A and B are shown apart, each in its own frame.
Chain A
Amino acid sequence: AQKITQTQPGMFVQEKEAVTLDCTYDTSDPSYGLFWYKQPSSGEMIFLIYQGSYDQQNATEGRYSLNFQKARKSANLVISASQLGDSAMYFCAMRSMNYGGSQGNLIFGKGTKLSVKP
């Protein structure tokens, strides 16, 4: 069974500093995708970044980068130059990319609440 673990219920970071949010996963599927979503207090889930299990390079999207360590089954999110607007819940998720599996079904972790201090 697939599982996502986020061990940091809450994190604080000073504005303009970098922060790393931890995510470990467990799966027996050879092909899978890893995702990070941001959920502000308004409730909408906002897609941030995606990493495929066969991607050779770590994914980057603007100030977001994903530190993918396949052997350790970790997919940590790094936010550089934190801004006040980054304060939100952050969820790590994964899904199988195998046909015949739970196609498209995202498995989410419990999330990390990030607070950016001015």
Chain B
Amino acid sequence: EAGVAQSPRYKIIEKRQSVAFWCNPISGHATLYWYQQILGQGPKLLIQFQNNGVVDDSQLPKDRFSAERLKGVDSTLKIQPAKLEDSAVYLCASSLEWVNEQFFGPGTRLTVL
């Protein structure tokens, strides 16, 4: 069974630029999560999708971050414009349903200069 795929693995941009991350969850998984993990901390949920609907985006900085999950499969997370404090690892996870175990992808390490 293929795991959660993410791309790119690494990205370096300058502040005020825009960036997009892509996630392909495990086939058949209805629930998809984006987490932000700042160095030295545990991951923090940014947004949770159930199929193609948003369940929780209360911690998503909506003035600069956006996410979508078209057709309830792949998802993209965008930052525009990026700030220095957005430097972090962005982890995508998926689960069969919200009650099930979450499987994480390898993450995208973003550096904002």
Residues of A within 8 A of B (CB): 4, 37, 42-47, 50, 91, 93, 97, 102-106, 108-111
Contact = CB atoms under 8 A, between A and B. Distances in A.
Nearest to B40: A110
B48 A44 contact: no
Interface residues of B, number: 26
B89 interface: yes
A105 B107 CA distance: 18
B102 A44 contact: no
B110 interface: no
Interface of B: 31, 33, 35, 40-45, 48, 55-56, 89, 91, 93, 95, 98-99, 101-107, 109
Contact of B41 (A42, A106, A110): A110
Contacts of A108: 42-44
Nearest to A93: B42
